[in-house]
Amino acid sequence: MSDKKNQKGGEFLLAAGDADEIFTPEGFTSEQCMIAKTTEDFVRQEIWPKSDKIEAQEDGVSQDLMLQAAELGLLMADIPQEYGGMGLDKASSTLIAEKMGMAGSFSVTLLNHTGIATLPIVFFGNKAQKEKFLPGLAGGEIGAYCLTEPGSGSDALAAKTTAVLSEDGKYYLLNGSKQFITSAKWAKTFIVFAQVAGKEFSAFIVERETAGVLIAPEELKLGIKGSATSGVIFEDARVPVENLLGEIGKGHLIAFNVLNIGRYKLGAAALGLAKLALEHAVKYALERKQFKKSLTEFGLIRKKIAEMTSRMFVAESLVYRTVGLIDNALEGIKGSDGETSLKVLEGIGEYVIECSIVKVYASEMADYIVDESLQIFGGYGYSQEYPVERLYRDARINRIFEGTNEVNRLLIPGMLLRRALQGGLPLMQVLENLKNEVADTSTVGEQAAVGEFPWYREKLEGARKAVLMATGLVIEKHLKEIGERQELLALLADMIMEYYALESTLLRLEKGSVGIDDWRSQALLNYFPAAMSRLLVWGREVLGVVVAPVQLAERLAQFDKFCRMTPFDTISVRDRLAEKIISVEGYPKV
């Protein structure tokens, strides 16, 4: 990891980033590559041959694979060494998540377990709880996380499950029902959220054998069929007071903090799934002949292959940039006591905006990739005989759990504004400076020459100003009731995400001094103009809503200049990129 200054969360929008300060996949250490290889070998050799059994939830199959994963150390990356874990850096555990993304349903079983089912104890458990539960969780005893209820999903704090302290003060009586709980029927431990005294949202560790814990019938789902999902019902379940996790009334800290980690790992897993879909699509396109040509010879198929690669490359850049920021923030924090755990959470929580971006961007990227991969397979893509049908169904859940993409979109500008208003980010000052600059647009022109990165730097700066200008205008008009202006917030979220995507990718290329003819540069060359067009469309919509009609023409002229790009021959760029991807039959190793 870099020892340079770490940007604060959300700061990427306020000042141009520095290539030296970001982490990129080109910087993986040999240990990290080994972990990635171990995971990928496990997926290909152990999980794929059992796919049908996993999909059918055949007894013992997923549980045995979890034990095997534990033996390989894949369940213990985020668990401190003194409790049977490996306490690895986050880039390593994210690489595990990425490679597990190729494992279909089983990836949900494993990542749910290592994430939201284990981390609450890692971060909030006391010594006795860690000693009691973490070795088992690291060793493959499956855990579950029970937050969602029939009446409360996104609005998680409105949970109705109650926890009432017994008269002798020895246990809590839990009553209520949880909905859509991953691995419920296999779990030995459940992290359960409930209201104490009716309103103090709190978390408990509930053991499987507790009387009064009932597992509802299995949900029949669209995808990830091999991941068990069902309701969990608590009927006077007696939970010893020792199993209260953290403090009474502080359950929200547990519920939301671990979700940040879940979000960047979900992004990585979506990336792994997308890479696999591309590999299938390219291999199929090479074999399949129509009109006496292989599909890879058709311009429209080549365009799909190039476009998929571009979006994947961008997603990969922003996933690992974010993980690098987190690893830098955690550097030097050692130990596993309560205070240290809170410092770790604070370090990760600093990047809540970036974590949400990763989640939304990568899950939507993956949905696009599986859709296009299926299209390349034509009718066979729709058939269960071929692998993309399942990838298509499996990918869809990623936009729903770990906070829906709507909720995460609202969080991105919402958190940025909150930090600005609390004095944590100098957003208002930056907006004020920009206002003066906008008045003089003479410095923002058309590009001088296509193909040189310094030129992209200039366009990127335009993109940043475009996002800031739109943000500033929304704040000016709607600050007081901003929470009620969801559509505007979502437009800002899309613009902020697109800027983070562009910057992360350009900085990655700059850091690696990647030549313009390299496939990675072609990926960005293809992506850049389309991203600028999206910014233009989103920003114009924002301006149309918030700027008074008499000022609109002038403001639009200023705004458009930030985003305008002279078109160039993107078809040739895509063709070169597709050629590379076809030649290596999938996403190239970086």
Binding site for ligand FAD (CB under 6 A): 112, 145-148, 153-154, 180-182, 221, 229, 397, 400-401, 404, 406-407, 486
Give the integer Cα–Cα distance in Å for 269 and 399.
12
CB of 219 to ligand FAD, least distance (A): 7
- Name which of 147 and 268 has its Cβ closer to ligand FAD: 147
- Name which of 115 and 347 has its Cβ closer to ligand FAD: 115
- Residue 373's φ and ψ, nearest 5 degrees, are -65, -45
Those residues whose C-beta lies under 8 Å from the C-beta of residue 13, and which sit 6 or more positions away, are 416, 427, 464, 467, 468, 471, 496, 499, 500
- Name which of 218 and 297 has its Cβ closer to ligand FAD: 218
Burial class (CB within 10 angstroms; exposed 0-12, middle 13-18, buried 19+) of 218: middle
- Name which of 173 and 490 has its Cβ closer to ligand FAD: 490
| Cα distances (Å, whole numbers) of residue 416 to 8, 250, 261, 412 | 11, 23, 19, 6
CB of 401 to ligand FAD, least distance (A): 4
Beta pairing class for 162-165 and 189-196? parallel
Q: What are the tokens at 99? A: 């490679």
CA end-to-end distance (rounded Å), the chain: 17
| Cα distances (Å, whole numbers) of residue 435 to 37, 118, 472, 475, 476 | 50, 47, 9, 13, 12
- In eight-state DSSP terms, residue 514 is -
Q: CB nearest ligand FAD: which residue?
A: 153
Q: Which residue type does 495 have? A: M
E strand or H helix at 564, and its extent?
none
- Name which of 147 and 547 has its Cβ closer to ligand FAD: 147
Q: Is residue 372 annotated as a catalytic residue, yes or no?
A: no
- Name which of 208 and 221 has its Cβ closer to ligand FAD: 221
Q: What are the tokens at 374? A: 């299926």
Closest among 311, 320, 319, 322 to 274, alpha carbons compared? 311
Q: 142 in helix, strand or coil?
A: coil
- C-alpha gyration radius of the chain: 24
Give the integer Cα–Cα distance in Å for 532 and 519.
20
- Name which of 221 and 283 has its Cβ closer to ligand FAD: 221
E strand or H helix at 497, and its extent?
helix 486-511
Q: Exactly one of 55, 307, 402, 498 is catalytic; which is it?
A: 402
Burial class (CB within 10 angstroms; exposed 0-12, middle 13-18, buried 19+) of 456: buried
- Name which of 166 and 486 has its Cβ closer to ligand FAD: 486
- Name which of 221 and 477 has its Cβ closer to ligand FAD: 221
Give the integer Cα–Cα distance in Å for 381 and 403.
29
CB of 184 to ligand FAD, least distance (A): 8
Dihedral angle, C-alpha 302, 305, 306, 311, nearest 10 °: 160
CB of 11 to ligand FAD, least distance (A): 26
Those residues whose C-beta lies under 8 Å from the C-beta of residue 527, and which sit 6 or more positions away, are 310, 311, 313, 314, 501, 502, 505
Q: Which residues are catalytic?
A: 402
